[in-house]
Every structure is written in C-alpha cells, then in structure tokens.
C-alpha cells in the first residue's frame, strides 16, 4: 500500500524578483513500511520534498497524496489535522518544547489527539522504554544530551502511531556514537512497528541504513535504488 504518492510536484520560491525552482517536477511513490533515504547535495530539494510530504508546505503545482488523501486540497487546519494524525517529524535541531519534560514532550501529540489519561500514560511509558529513556522521563530538554533529546523526538514522532515518520538530517547535530544509536533505534522501530520512515540526509553512515535511496539533484530525482 502506498503511504506517499507524489505526482509531478514543482515548488517555486519567489525571493524579490528572483525565482528559485526547488522542485522541478518530482514523481515518487513510497510504500508502507519502507525505510527510505532522500539524498543529494545541499540545495537539491531534499528538505523541500520532505516538507511537501509532511504537509508543512504546498506545491506550486502537482499533487501530493498521503495515506490516500490529496493533501494539496486541504486547508490550513486540515493540514494540521493530517500532520497530527498521520505524520511524525524528527528534526535536525531536536525540536523539543523546552518547558516540557521528556514525558510531556512525548505526551503532547497524544493530548492533541484527545487520548484518555490512562491510555496516554501507558503509551508514553512504552515509547520512552523503546528509546531507552524511562529514567529520564522527568528531565527537561536542557537536562538531556543531544542524543537523548533526539531519542525523545523519535518517541514523540511515534506517539500517535503515524503512518509515516519524516526525519530531516536526524543525525546532523550528533556525534558518531549518538548518531548510530539514533539510527539503530529508528531501524528497530521500523522493523518492529512497520511504520514508514523517510529521512533526508547526506551522511553516508545514515544512508547505509536505508533500504531504498532516492537521490535528488537540482530539484529532480536522478536516481532511485
């Protein structure tokens, strides 16, 4: 089953009088359970493509389907709902809410989804255990290392049981050991839960984890293997 289907997507940015074409007609299909890497040099369009799939941005033309739904037709609130229910995000800069503990950060998407208290607690504990951070549940982000913060972000992304997790340079701010730990966890969760992972990177160590590598250059897919 296709989780993501992209049809002839273009994205043009207008900066003053200058027009930049970040995507120039991309077609891509990602099936459920894939562990796919988007690779390419800086400016190749990896992040833009992730943002299209993640309903964070809208294409200039073309169609983006996530979980069978054409997200280009959704309004702002519907896109927020789509993200909340179907998509998890892992960012390069960890992106945790600094005022909330690890537990509360993981809990946030479940609260937004209106999950009951008991179920929520069970789910958060299960996820913190999966990323080996049960003993850090009450720590706030500034009390955690970069690797630990990224593991909390992974737990948060998985919390609402999304169909798809998008990770933008997930190891870029981590040292080798922590980077490997994060990738091991992502791979393990992909295998155990079957959730689809799509990550943008240019780190060869990360690419080595991918079972499918989609290479972009100048806003076009030049290789898919």
Check: CB of residue 149 under 8 Å from CB of residue 174.
no
Cβ atoms within 10 Å of 135's Cβ, excluding its own: 9
Closest CB to another protein among 58 and 180? 58
Q: Choose which of 4, 35, 156, 170 interacts with another protein (CB under 8 A).
A: 156
3-class DSSP assignment, residue 14: strand
Closest contact distance (angstroms) between CB of 55 and another protein is 9
Closest CB to another protein among 108 and 207? 108
Rule CB under 8 A: say whether 46 interacts with another protein: no
Rule CB under 8 A: say whether 77 interacts with another protein: yes
Give the integer Cα–Cα distance in Å for 131 and 152: 7
Closest CB to another protein among 103 and 209? 103
Q: Choose which of 93, 129, 175, 188 interacts with another protein (CB under 8 A).
A: 93
Rule CB under 8 A: say whether 213 interacts with another protein: no
User: Exposed, middle or buried: residue 204 (CB in 10 Å: 0-12, 13-18, 19+)?
Assistant: exposed
Give the integer Cα–Cα distance in Å for 143 and 134: 14
Rule CB under 8 A: say whether 76 interacts with another protein: yes
Give the integer Cα–Cα distance in Å for 94 and 136: 16
Q: Which residues bind another protein (CB under 8 A)?
A: 51, 54, 56-57, 76-77, 80-85, 88-89, 91, 93, 95-100, 104, 107-109, 111-113, 156
């Amino acid at each position: 089953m296709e989780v993501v289907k992209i049809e002839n997507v273009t994205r043009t940015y207008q900066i003053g009088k200058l027009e930049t074409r970040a995507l120039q007609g991309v077609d891509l299909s990602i099936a459920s359970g894939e562990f796919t890497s988007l690779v390419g040099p800086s400016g190749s369009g990896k992040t833009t493509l992730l943002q299209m799939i993640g309903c964070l941005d809208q294409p200039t033309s073309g169609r983006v389907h996530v979980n069978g739904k054409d997200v280009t037709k959704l309004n702002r609130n519907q896109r927020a709902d789509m993200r909340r229910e179907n998509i998890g995000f892992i960012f390069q800069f960890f992106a945790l809410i600094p005022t909330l503990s690890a537990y509360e950060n993981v809990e946030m998407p479940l609260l937004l989804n209106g999950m009951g208290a008991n179920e929520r607690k069970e789910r958060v504990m299960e996820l913190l255990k999966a990323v080996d951070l049960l003993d850090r549940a009450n720590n706030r982000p500034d009390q955690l290392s970069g690797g630990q913060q990224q593991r909390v972000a992974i737990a948060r992304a998985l919390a609402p049981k999304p169909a798809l997790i998008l990770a933008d340079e997930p190891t870029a701010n981590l040292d080798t050991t922590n980077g490997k730990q994060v990738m091991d966890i992502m791979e393990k969760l992909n295998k155990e839960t079957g959730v689809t992972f799509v990550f943008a990177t240019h780190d060869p160590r990360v690419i080595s984890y991918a079972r499918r590598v989609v290479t972009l250059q100048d806003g076009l897919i030049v290789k898919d293997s």
